[in-house]
Amino acid sequence: MSGRIGVAILGSTGSIGVSTIDVLLRHADRFRIVALTAHRNVEALFQQCLAHEPDIAVLVDPAAAERLRERLRAAGRSVEVRAGAAGLEQVAALPEAAYVMAAIVGAAGLLPTLAAARAGKRVLLANKEALVMAGPLFMTAVRQHGAELLPIDSEHNAVFQCLPPDFARAGLAAAGVRRILLTGSGGPFRTTPPAQLADVTPEQACTHPNWNMGRKISVDSATMMNKGLEVIEAHWLFEAPAAAIEVVVHPRSVIHSMVEYQDGSVLAQLGNPDMRTPIAHALAWPRRLASGVAFLDFARLGKLEFQAPDFARFPCLRLAFAALDAGGTAPTVLNAANEVAVQAFLERRIRFTDIVAVVEHALERAPARAAGELAMILDSDAEARAVAGRWIAARPLEV
């Protein structure tokens, strides 16, 4: 059909990518999938290509891309296959894709997400690391190239929905905003005795009580580093000072975040914990469309609990606030060291409680620099990964 909006999905085989496809298929008269990308999951991307027939598919791993190309050719499909980081940046800037879902996890998503912003796309931002690593650079690209930036993280999407339409032009203070309240479930270890956290397994850390997420983000939720990264993301998205951003533990994950105003009003966005809601919101904004998410039954909802975050139990949250306060490339170092540490934990090379130790060590040993240039940001990212890797290698875990 003509007139449909073209959408490229960066990270289509992950949980956000799969949810995005689900919403798009519910509105196939309005949207067309132009490009799908993954890292090296040939089978999952092959099945998506068969089902949705994008123009282009990208696998970062060149060998995996060649296998996908051969399988599609054997299946009689004409999907063009591209490879490598360059392929990701190319599809992020495709003229046929007006909207780009940026759902690649981690630092790997920075360059293609930046390419989408520089191409003036509507960027559906699920990759918080693009702002954590390169907030000033990324927001400058959005403004200079006329991109639309719609947050997909449920917390930031909730804040966006609760702010007045002109907040970006007037600023939060002029709009009467007192503070942003980011809610977090507290993850699976909210009530676990701290003495038991050293024995946490990857399987336990990846079992979230409310959300179905990938392994890396699930571990970040368990340490509350995810909430710390979201604080930094909120700082850049909404031009909010750190003092105006507060984290509130809300175990039910029904209120996704809140905005408090100077007159005492608090606006909250509620919904079932399903990422299709913010995805549908960003696709349709400023209007609404059906997402497939079940509606809340308030009569059965029961009470909504709130708690202050325990910084002793979740020291990663403290480190994130410290990195935001330090500025420059400190958030880049924080994110890079955390990615290395989480991967080592998932591979059973360090303990759960070592994650914060790795990050703190990197923040001490990899000095923050100015973050105005991409080369400096990438250098800091690489240095932090090396520092974190050396810490892990020097302390082999006996299992």
How is residue 242 annotated by DSSP? G
Q: In Å, how far from its chain's centre is CA 91?
A: 19
Q: Taking CA 125 as the corner, what is the angle to CA 239 and CA 333, rounded to the nearest 5 degrees?
A: 70
For residue 347, give every residue at least 6 positions away whose Cβ sits within 8 Å of its Cβ, in sequence order, or none.
none
Residues 358-395: pLDDT tens digits?
A: 999 999 999 888 877 899 999 999 999 999 999 999 98
Q: Indicate the domain borders of the chain.
A: 5-151
- Which residue from 183, 180, 186, 156 is spatially nearest to 311, judged by alpha carbons? 186
pTM of model > 0.85: yes
Quick one: tokens of 54? 């994008």
Tokens 């000095």 -> residue: 367
Query: Which pLDDT value is given to residue 209?
Result: 72
Q: How far apart are CA 12 and CA 36, in angstroms?
A: 6
Residues 168-211: pLDDT tens digits?
A: 888 999 999 999 999 999 989 998 988 899 999 999 999 877 76
Helix (H) or strand (E) holding 268: strand 266-270
Q: Are 180 and 259 in contact (CB under 8 A)?
A: yes
Alpha-helix runs per DSSP H in 152-273: 154-162, 167-170, 202-205, 215-223, 225-238
Residue 76, burial from CB neighbour count under 10 angstroms (0-12, 13-18, 19+): exposed
Alpha-helix runs per DSSP H in 34-82: 42-52, 62-74
Give helix 129-144 / helix 225-238 axis angle, nearest 10°: 10
Residue 357 pLDDT > 80: yes
Question: Which residues in 280-319 are b (16+ Cβ under 10 Å) and which e?
Answer: bbbbbbeeeeebebeeeeeeeeeeeeeeebeeebbbbbbb
Residue 263 pLDDT > 50: yes
Which string of DSSP letters, residue by residue, matches 5-33? EEEEEETTTSHHHHHHHHHHHHTTTTEEE
Residue 321 pLDDT > 90: yes
CATH superfamily of 5-151: NAD(P)-binding Rossmann-like Domain (3.40.50.720)
